[in-house]
Structure 1
């Protein structure tokens, strides 16, 4: 027997595929943010300390940035929080890109810009869940 496909079937299939691809990126970037970005900042890894000395805002800012990365990375892995986390991480990546261009190494600004593009897609895909989350917090 063959299944009858409605016009909505290809769109639903494409949406499922997009969601799977986004989940793969969310998991990879979430793990990167937690393991390779936030933890070295908390541990006082030499490159992290040096980078924040170059930025000139003090080491307290390293801890704040690490905390935001840790929270965002974990949030990307929790379905109900993924859209909100992605939205917040767009701001973090904008700051990271500007810092790279203005203070550190301009060529490295492409990485946070690429992450921000993925976060924008996640935020868009999860917008209904984010609205529901905000509504539940307001009540």
Structure 2
């Protein structure tokens, strides 16, 4: 059996990949939980969406986006796109929290925005490959 010496770049890349996967799994669990609160019509979620003024249909829509993002984070080819989509979702949540709710509530979506953006950036090569493949097939 032959062993090859790993270059620092390879070792560094492997560590980043492992860290991103750990982050993606944790974020997927968090977004799955968030989606569940909407799908079971948790009273706090219903109340929040009533305050937004878009009704229960929007709550279910956001739950579906969160669920899709959670699944996408766990699929290598979709992980960058899922990170990008969740970044957009959380940016909207930050703006909504600032404009319609107590400003302190912005802490939660803002805190999730940072790691989701890191995943979107760290997995950007997956997004580029997916878009190139999509353009070739179109």
Q: Which TM-score band (shorter chain)? A: 0.7 to 0.9
**TM-score of the superposition, structure 2-length normalised?**
0.87
| Offset from partner CA, 1:45-100 (integer Å, 9 cap, x none) | 11111111111111111011111101001100111100000001111000111111
Q: Which runs of 5+ in 2 are unaligned?
A: none
Q: Quick one: distance in 1 between partners of 2:4 and 2:73? A: 36
Runs of 4+, deviation exceeding 3 Å: 3-6
Match of residue 23 from structure 1: 21
Q: Which structure 2 residues correspond to residues 82-93 of structure 1 after superposition, within 5 A?
A: 82-93=79-90
Aligned with residue 12 of structure 2, among 14, 37, 42: 14
Report the Cα offset of residue 110 of structure 1.
Answer: 2.3
Aligned with residue 117 of structure 1, among 111, 114, 118: 114
Q: Quick one: distance in 2 between partners of 1:54 and 1:89? A: 22
Q: Quick one: distance in 2 between partners of 1:10 and 1:111? A: 36
Give the root-mean-square deviation of aligned CA atoms: 1.8
Report the number of matched residues: 134
Q: Quick one: distance in 2 between partners of 1:123 and 1:46? A: 31
**TM-score of the superposition, structure 1-length normalised?**
0.87
